[in-house]
Amino acid sequence: MRRETLVIGVLIALVLLPMWYVGIQGEATSEEIQIDQSVSEIQPLSGPVDLPNKLSPSQVGVIVWIALFGLYGVLAGAHRFMNTAVRPSDPDAEAVVSDGGYSGQDDAERELEPPDERTDGGVNRPSWLTAENRWLVEYHDATGSNEGIIVMGALTVLAIVFSALFTGEYLTLARTQYFGLYATGLFLSLAALTVAYYAWFMPHVEVAEKREH
């Protein structure tokens, strides 16, 4: 980390951390709400974890920012994985590009190895990727390995299990913590499923596009 970044980080942390410390104090928890089970059979307050039953706005503020930074971290990790997973590990490896040739080779090599005779360079790709003002700059085909099929199969099963548990909770005690647990599991499974599909079964494509059109 550069000195400038560190100094600026300290200047902000000197205010941010006290603000969060004061904000997280909030207010004391209150008595648990008693639900008359003769009126309603559901138990929204039941759950496996004992957590505060009341949060002040300042506590909510601290939590939401920490959660947002956490989400951003996970997003960045997933995004980078998606954009690197299907690329060859060797940066000089071949990447089919739209001129029918290959990047990662010098001109002499290209001349010795003429491009595919097909006008699209030998790449099967959707028609909309290129246009008058847009062309491919990188195209790595999907690997489509058995490993990907296994991962996607497992994640699909996981998503189905979580959605079944969620539905089951709705039909029985409707406990909020379990709703949260199952919904989180379901959405994480679906996110991971998309990441896996992207990594193993989608070609990695980059395009260049003229701005002024």
What is the C-alpha separation between 204 and 60, in angstroms, rounded?
A: 40
Is 157 one of the binding residues for other proteins (CB under 8 A)?
no
Q: Is 154 an interacting residue with respect to other proteins (CB under 8 A)? A: no
Check if the beta carbon of residue 124 is closer than 8 Å to that of residue 108: no
Query: In angstroms, rounded to a whole number, what is the distance separating the alpha carbons of residues 109 and 92?
Result: 13
For other proteins, what does the binding mask look like between residues 94 and 133, x meaning CB under 8 A? Answer: ---xxx---x----------------------xxxxxx--
Count of residues engaged in binding other proteins, rule: CB under 8 A: 103
Length of the chain: 213
> What is the Cα–Cα distance from 139 to 123, expressed in whole angstroms?
8
φ and ψ at residue 135, rounded to 5 degrees: -145, 165
CB of 64 to other proteins, least distance (A): 4
Stretch 10-29 residues interacting with other proteins (CB under 8 A) = 11-12, 15-16, 18-19, 21-23, 25-27
How far apart (Å, rounded) are the C-alpha atoms in residues 97 and 123?
A: 9
- Does residue 61 bind other proteins (CB under 8 A)? yes
CA distance 55 to 191: 29
Residues in 25-54 that interact with other proteins by CB under 8 A: 25-27, 30-31, 33-37, 39-40, 42, 44-45, 47, 49, 51-54
Closest distance between other proteins and the C-beta of residue 79, in Å? Answer: 5
Is 55 one of the binding residues for other proteins (CB under 8 A)?
Answer: yes
